[in-house]
């Protein structure tokens, strides 16, 4: 536990002061330079920091440690609060219809982004791919085969604050899932209603495989006799 708190201190120092040397960090957290390098190696392995060499006029270069984008993302953000406030402004000035257009537009963009990942997949493969997509987006998603179909379970809601205030967020998400899976689904658990997860049942029989287009028969031209033939 102490190691975790030390690494957290290092991340906070890099966030507040920018790139630092190992010795500067060691002095700040009051451990040896060797000890801080061990923590830095772990943070670099986890992709939270990077190191670069700063050349000096003479002698060896100085090695500076700084945060990566992933390291910055470990700090609290209020994106969901900002999104909620912006949607509140849209609703109060332009009405619910405009809010629905925003969610519909987001759904269309996500569909364009993810539809290629569903190409030539059966239902099981699509559910698996959708779980992967949602996990990548921070929903802690997983899937499983159950009698009659599949379950998609999301243990985290990445847009929870928005979803609590705007029901259209969930409604359009379900429609996105239907389009990506090319199947129906039923929500059986809902975090907004107090459940521990958002869980969806996808009936196996509802899958609609993409129909293959039949090749049109080629039209043969009637040969016209040429003069003197």
Same domain, 104 and 38: no
* Structure tokens belonging to residue 93: 């000035």
> What would you report as the CA-atom Rg of the chain, rounded to the nearest whole angstrom?
27
> Residue 220's pLDDT is what?
45
CA–CA gap between residue 214 and residue 17 (Å, rounded): 64
> Does 217 fall in a domain?
no
Same domain, 195 and 150: yes
Same domain, 164 and 179: yes
Same domain, 98 and 45: no
- The DSSP 8-state label assigned to residue 207 in this structure reads -
The count of structural domains within the chain is 2
Q: What share of residues in the chain are helix, strand, coil (percent, to 5)? A: 50, 15, 30
Same domain, 92 and 164: yes
Residue that terminates a domain, selected from 72, 97, 130: 72
> Residue 58's pLDDT is what?
87
Same domain, 60 and 107: no
- Residue closest to 103 by CA, chosen among 157, 161, 173, 165: 173
> Residue 78's pLDDT is what?
72
- Which CATH number do you get for residue 96? 3.90.1520.10
Same domain, 198 and 155: yes
> Does 169 fall in a domain?
yes
Same domain, 185 and 140: yes
pLDDT digits 0-9 by tens, 37-68: 999 999 999 999 999 999 888 888 999 999 99
Q: Which domain holds residue 26?
A: 2-72
CA–CA distances in Å: residue 226 to residues 164, 219, 229: 78, 21, 6
Residue that terminates a domain, selected from 72, 92, 110: 72
pLDDT values of the chain reduced to their tens digit, one per residue, 229 residues: 456 689 999 999 998 888 999 999 999 999 999 999 999 999 999 999 999 999 888 888 999 999 998 888 888 777 888 899 999 999 999 999 999 999 999 999 999 999 999 999 999 999 999 999 999 898 989 999 999 999 999 998 989 999 999 999 999 999 999 999 999 999 999 999 989 899 999 999 999 986 443 444 445 444 445 445 4
Same domain, 129 and 202: yes
Same domain, 16 and 42: yes
Same domain, 98 and 176: yes
> Residue 72's pLDDT is what?
86
> Does 163 fall in a domain?
yes
> Does 223 fall in a domain?
no
- Residue closest to 161 by CA, chosen among 79, 73, 70, 80: 80
- Which CATH number do you get for residue 62? 1.10.10.10
> Does 20 fall in a domain?
yes
């Amino acid at each position: 536990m102490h190691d975790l708190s030390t690494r957290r201190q290092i991340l906070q120092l890099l966030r507040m002061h920018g790139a630092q040397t190992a010795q500067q960090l060691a002095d700040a957290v009051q451990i040896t330079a060797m000890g801080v390098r061990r923590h830095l190696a772990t943070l670099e392995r986890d992709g939270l920091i990077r190191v670069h060499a700063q050349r000096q006029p003479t002698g060896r270069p100085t090695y500076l440690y700084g945060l990566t984008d992933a390291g910055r993302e470990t700090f609290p953000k209020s994106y969901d609060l900002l999104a909620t406030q912006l949607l509140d402004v849209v609703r109060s000035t332009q009405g619910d219809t405009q809010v629905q257009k925003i969610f519909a537009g987001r759904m269309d963009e996500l569909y364009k982004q993810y539809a290629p990942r569903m190409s030539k997949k059966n239902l099981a493969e699509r559910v698996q791919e959708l779980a992967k997509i949602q996990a990548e987006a921070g929903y802690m998603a997983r899937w499983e085969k159950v009698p009659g179909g599949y379950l998609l379970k999301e243990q985290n809601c990445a847009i929870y604050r928005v979803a609590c205030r705007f029901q259209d967020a969930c409604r359009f998400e379900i429609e996105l899932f239907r389009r990506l899976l090319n199947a129906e689904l039923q929500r059986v658990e809902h975090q907004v209603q107090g459940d521990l997860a958002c869980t969806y049942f996808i009936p196996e029989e509802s899958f609609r495989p993409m129909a293959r287009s039949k090749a049109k028969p080629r039209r043969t031209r009637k040969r016209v006799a040429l003069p003197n033939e």
